[in-house]
Amino acid sequence: MSGTILEPGQIEAAASKPPFTNLPPRDLFALRSERLTKLAEDHPLADYLRLLAGVCQAQQQVLDNPPASAPLDPARTRECFKHAMPPLAADTLVREGAWLPLLDAWLDAFAVPDNLSVIAAIDQLRRADSGQRKAWAVALVSGSTTACRRRWYPFSAPRCNWPGPTGCSSSTSPTCANAKTRPSAPAAAHRPWPG
């Protein structure tokens, strides 16, 4: 294993510099939508790319006009910092349901294309109660895609900073009985996927 050995003085200097974070642009999802729309021209997967462009466009609308939400609990935030834990960890926030108004806003903003499979998936998501939505979100955040219905896959690709409907709560669920095994991915509690 090769590397640089730090000398005394370099260690302290390296430890005192905070990491630089380059935040994504405010119109990230609009840019993705435009790019996907351009890619769809004369492409064999044009319908799928236009679907993803619509998903991104709805995400941008929600980002620009988010629904009202309850403020974060200051005591919880202090405890997270005290124990060096992320205060907005998706794997814990997903169970609380504060993201559900964001999902409802996204469902309102999403222009459903004239495709029976997409219409059925969005209708199922709209009719699902908060418990079912949370179960799907927990499956997504935990990286469990083995029990997903294929109709949810397009909605997991351009995911945002809130969990989306891409998983099922149980492999024994009747709605997931025909699911194929898919490779697991790391938890979705990270940055949005690159544009």
For the chain, which domains are there?
Answer: 26-176 (3.90.1670.10)
Specify the pLDDT at position 83: 86
Residue 66 to residues 61, 81, 187, Cα–Cα distance (Å): 8, 26, 24
CB atoms within 10 A of CB 150: 12
Closest CA relative to residue 76, chosen from 55, 98, 54: 98
**Per-position pLDDT tens, the chain of length 195:** 567 777 777 766 656 666 677 888 999 999 999 999 999 999 999 999 999 999 999 999 999 999 987 777 888 888 888 888 877 777 677 778 888 999 999 999 999 999 998 999 899 999 999 988 888 888 877 777 665 555 555 555 444 433 333 333 333 333 333 333 333 333 333 334 343
Residues 121 and 46: their CA atoms lie apart, in Å, by: 19
Specify the pLDDT at position 165: 38
Specify the pLDDT at position 156: 54
- The dihedral region occupied by 9, where left means phi > 0, alpha psi between -120 and 50, and beta the remainder, is left
Specify the pLDDT at position 191: 38
Contact 96, 137 (CB under 8 A): no
Residue 37 to residues 31, 56, 100, 114, 123, Cα–Cα distance (Å): 10, 10, 28, 17, 24
CA atoms lying within 13 Å on the CB side of residue 164? 24
pTM of structure: 0.64
Specify the pLDDT at position 194: 41
Specify the pLDDT at position 93: 77
Closest CA relative to residue 158, chosen from 61, 47, 36, 23: 36
- The dihedral region occupied by 84, where left means phi > 0, alpha psi between -120 and 50, and beta the remainder, is left
